[in-house]
Chain A
Amino acid sequence: MRSLSPALASLANVFRIPMSLTPARPSVTRVCHETLSRRTQPGPITSAVQTASFSSTSSLAKRSEGRPGVDKRITLIRYFLHHPLTPRPLRFSRNRYLRHWTIHRAWQLFQAKQRNTQQLELQRQYQSMQAACEELRTGAGDGGRLFRKSMNKKGIFTDLIPIEYGRMQTEFPSAEGWNHEWKKIEKK
């Protein structure tokens, strides 16, 4: 950079004329990189954007000597938290809009059908349970003993489902498949 006379430099400082050639609006990666690389040096930065254009003046450094500095990571977090991330709404031409609309409607229809099949499957299970229980109650010939045992709800809402079985689905079954030696862990 061209060196200025002290008078011109002080005037530039007063009128906030940036004397370096850095662009006014720095890119995100550069902000991140600069701020972090300056971490070891003493002295806070007031704003990630502001430091780039005019910082190295003696007056600012002098003024902030007494205060504890702001953590650079917080400065960065503030920068990204208030960064306007919402893009403008999409604008489609007629054909692209129609294409989008078609795919959207097809997806909604597909989902509705899927929900319907799931619901019907559950209904089928429920009704077959109902039929089985009715058969057990009237037609099993043991005076309804099995039916009464099957309706016993003891421990369902207090012991809950064993944590070994409450697990997410995986892509493949486990190697040994079913553990026949499994016993419920005694609670302490």
Chain B
Amino acid sequence: MAAREPSRYLARGLPRTFVPSARSQAFLNRRNVSDEAPARRLSDQLEDLETASSLTTSVSESAASSFDPIARSKTRKTQLPRGRYQFRSPKYDRGPLHPHQPPAPSDPSSRLFVPGPFALPRAEQTYNSTVASDILTLCYVHTPPGFKPPPKAPRLREWDDSSPYHKNRPLRGPRGGDVLRLLRKPIKFNNIPKIERITLHSYVKEAAQDNSGWLHVAGIAVQAISNVRVETFKSKASVANWSLVPGRDTVAVKAELQGENMYHFLGKLIDVVLPRLKDWPGVKGSSGDSSGNITFGLEPEQMALFPEIEVNYDMYPPKMIPGCHITLHTTAKADKDARLLLSAMGIPFYGKIVQ
């Protein structure tokens, strides 16, 4: 009965829309600038609907008499779960051998379930429609068919067997240090660099000297601009001037942004905050960890330009608004590719561009 009601209302209400009345016509013909072209009006769309109700069809007597859901459910071997089936995800992780396992995070009964996405961010659209193919074109290097690149020297060198002690030693590291750099492959259609995640990190040394209020204000400011719950970190270094003791003082907050949050944050940063910074030359050309991650910092007064803080500026103690470091992690294997990607997205660089 309850399932029938909406369609009955629809069947009753539909003819009413076709009755011409001055008011409804005026309302239907009104169009805003943001609307699409008036190719399809509401009345046109309503004509597509069938006016005949499906509820008037008669059911044959034999089908009605043989309809017995209870008997049918009894013939089932395994019963369906109850109509009000309520699976409770376990509150604590008891290990892989426990019979009560949590469901997949996409399951709405999971405790990790996050609804969404709710929007298609502009930064993501720009990347997919413009930036990806631009980078592909800019970085294209032609190799004739059948071309084979000459073999390179191995990245880990052998020991020259000048000493008997070289036997069974692990291979030598690369020249000029022990750091084994990432391997940069030529950029093709399947490895165009893209932004992977963004990390906001804020180190508040006053949290160790003064009180925890500094850390709380920093945490809620970072949360407000990133839409992500922050993690806190204890100090690792020992600085006598700041009265820092390793492992005792909680001094830093960090938020990791991915997916929709990340693109929204990037859009705000590029469109709202960075253009309003006074005398800001851009990100330093030598920034980066030589594996495709670029970091720059924002001062406290620059953090206050984020719209979430700006509209609510009175609710933060002004001297306690933190600065932060923003790390843009990209899938590029070298900094130069990451810089090309970020400059295509609208982040300026200044100074000598270090490769």
Contacts and interface: CB of A to CB of B under 8 A. Distances in A.
The 8 closest A-B pairs by CB, nearest first: A160-B343, A122-B189, A133-B142, A166-B346, A126-B189, A157-B336, A74-B213, A91-B86
Contact of B84 (A93, A119, A130, A169): A93
Interface residues of A, number: 44
Interface stretch (B103-111, B242-250, B293-301, B303-311): B103-111
Contacts of B69: none
Interface string A38-70: 000000000000000000000000000000001
Contacts of B87: 91
A121 B189 CA distance: 9
B343 A122 contact: no
B190 A119 contact: yes
B346 A147 contact: no
6 contacts: A78-B213, A122-B136, A126-B136, A156-B139, A168-B126, A169-B122
Interface of A: 70-71, 73-74, 76-78, 80-81, 89-95, 97, 100, 104, 118-119, 121-123, 125-126, 129-130, 133-134, 137, 147, 151, 153, 156-158, 160-161, 163, 166-169
B138 interface: yes
B220 A168 contact: no
Nearest to B142: A133
Given A125-B133, A160-B340, A168-B122, A151 B189 contact: no
A104 B344 CA distance: 33
A129 B187 CA distance: 13
A133 B142 CA distance: 7
A168 B80 contact: no
Interface string B331-353: 00000100110011111110001
